[in-house]
Amino acid sequence: MSTTTAYDRSDERLVQDNSPQALVRGFVRRMRSGDLGMVPVITGLLIIWVVFYLLNPRFLSSRNLVEISLDSATIGMISLGIVLVLLLGEIDLSVGSVSGVGGAVLATLLVYQDWPLLLAIAAGLCSGLAIGTLYGLIYTRFGVPSFVISLAGLLAFLGVQLWVLGPRGTVNLPVNSKLVDFANFWYLSPLASYVLAVLIGLAYFGIRLRAMARRRAANLSVPTARSVAVRAGLMVAAMLGGAYYLNIDRGVGYLPLLWIGLIVLVDVVLRRTKGGRYVFAVGGNEEAARRAGIPVNRVYLTVFALCSTFAALGGVLAAGRLQSVAQSSGGTDTNLMAIAAAVIGGTSLFGGRGSAYAALFGMLVLQSITSGLNLIGVQAEVRYMVTGLVLLLAVTIDSLSRRARRSSGRA
């Protein structure tokens, strides 16, 4: 065993916890310093599930949980793009309209122009990519605030959606479309879901071992292999239990699986790549990032383009889920739900702090509230009030944690 002291031992924020006691101490230390992470939203989600289960046991039935996972995926996909924009301290108010444009382009080309499904999907996604690129160019070239750009885009692209749909108003997708099957009827077999859970656990264990080797070579602190094995084991056990429970009904749907897969991919890109770290750097302090040589304009351009592309993807998937695209697609509360999910999930409105998993847990909170209130027969107006209160609570927690981090010198 090496007798040298790890370089990062002098900075408690960088130390890897190498025992259960150190893990608990590190957790308490982060909570006290205002580094709350995903703790508030996960705690809130558990409370919501317990309360609605007590009010109506059907809430936690496997059938209802499968429905929640399917209904969360479409707007949750849009919320994933919102997370990226919020990490820069910006906002996009037009994601609902952009999702409507993406769905309208797909449906029109597929049904009336007889395009192959994959080409129609690609065209829908390209419409979102073009819109986001336009936003990025206007923001970086002319300095127009993102609030104003996207507010104008909300109106303009609603008009584009109506123009694409034309006088028909509603386009119904073919009932035998693969997109409809993917969004509604395709599920992993029970065996495949269990194998996938084990493979994810093994991949996590292997990646952590590789990271430990690299940290050890750099003379940095490392967790013990046993603690990593315990974490991987708990992860596999949780996923196997979840898969078993969902398999009592229809199982793990392809649609939520795609959503979660993209969340994991975005999280890896944000935390493990240079481009991802640039996003946090620009969101934390743009001027400092610019002086450090980071291509700030390129970061803005990329993030706005990704945000609108995810919005268009959400619109395409929503078209498959609903089997149609109408003039109201992407309207009503789509914008607010996508933004609220990202904020409730823990993404800071002040930029520089957050995680891709905010889109997952924030959307599960909102969809659980909707499902629970529907099961106990509460009207829609109450749902809006409850959602507003939850959003206000999330922003308040974010402000308080930011104040605590500033007090502890970690802001």
315 CA to centre of own chain: 15
The CA-atom distances, in angstroms, between 234 and each of 23, 112, 197, 228 are: 15, 50, 11, 10
**CA–CA separation, 261 and 271 (whole Å):** 16
Q: Are 63 and 46 in contact (CB under 8 A)?
A: no
**CA–CA separation, 177 and 259 (whole Å):** 20
In a domain, 109, yes or no: yes
By CB atoms closer than 10 A (0-12, 13-18, 19+), residue 167 is exposed
SS3 351: coil
CA dihedral 137, 140, 144, 147 (to 10 degrees): 80
- Which two structure tokens, joined as six digits, stand for 35? 């580094």
- Which two structure tokens, joined as six digits, stand for 113? 């122009």
In a domain, 120, yes or no: yes
**CA–CA separation, 86 and 90 (whole Å):** 5
Q: What confidence score (pLDDT) does residue 119 get?
A: 96
Q: What confidence score (pLDDT) does residue 400 get?
A: 76
The angle at the Cα of 299, spanning 296 to 303, to the nearest 5 degrees, equals 145
- Which two structure tokens, joined as six digits, stand for 5? 């002291």
Range 392-399, long-range pairs (CB < 8 A, 24+ positions): 394/40, 394/41, 394/343, 394/344, 394/346, 394/362, 395/343, 395/349, 397/36, 397/40, 398/343, 398/346, 398/348, 398/349, 398/350
Q: What confidence score (pLDDT) does residue 4 get?
A: 53
Q: Are 81 and 265 in contact (CB under 8 A)?
A: no
Positions in the chain short of pLDDT 50: 1-3
* Closest alpha carbon to 55 in 377, 364, 367: 377
**CA–CA separation, 100 and 308 (whole Å):** 11
Q: Please count the residues of the chain.
A: 411
Q: What confidence score (pLDDT) does residue 167 get?
A: 85
In a domain, 206, yes or no: no
The CA-atom distances, in angstroms, between 228 and each of 209, 213, 242, 268, 354 are: 8, 13, 21, 18, 24
Q: In the chain, how many domains are there?
A: 1
**168-214 residue pLDDT tens:** 888 999 988 999 999 999 999 999 999 999 999 999 999 888 888 88
**30-43 residue pLDDT tens:** 776 667 777 888 88
* Closest alpha carbon to 355 in 341, 368, 342: 342
Computed over its alpha carbons, how large is the radius of gyration of the chain?
A: 22
In a domain, 144, yes or no: yes
The CA-atom distances, in angstroms, between 118 and each of 107, 115, 340 are: 12, 8, 31
Q: What confidence score (pLDDT) does residue 25 get?
A: 72
Which helix H or strand E contains 324, and what residues bound it? Answer: strand 324-325
In a domain, 241, yes or no: no
Q: Spell out the residues 6+ positions from residue 35 whose beta carbon is closer than 8 angstroms to its own.
A: 401, 405, 410
In a domain, 210, yes or no: no
Q: What is the CATH number of the domain that holds 374?
A: 1.10.3470
Dump the DSSP string for 204-243: HHHHHHHHHHHHHHTT-----HHHHHHHHHHHHHHHHHHH
Burial of 274-290, coded b for 16+ CB within 10 Å and e otherwise, reads: eebebbbbbbbebeebe
**CA–CA separation, 336 and 250 (whole Å):** 30
Say how many CA atoms lie within 13 Å of 335 toward its Cβ. 18
Q: What confidence score (pLDDT) does residue 17 get?
A: 61
In a domain, 102, yes or no: yes
Per DSSP, the chain holds a count of helices (H) and strands (E) of 16, 2
The angle at the Cα of 27, spanning 23 to 32, to the nearest 5 degrees, equals 150
In a domain, 3, yes or no: no
Name the residue range of residue 262's domain: 58-185+254-404
Q: What confidence score (pLDDT) does residue 1 get?
A: 42
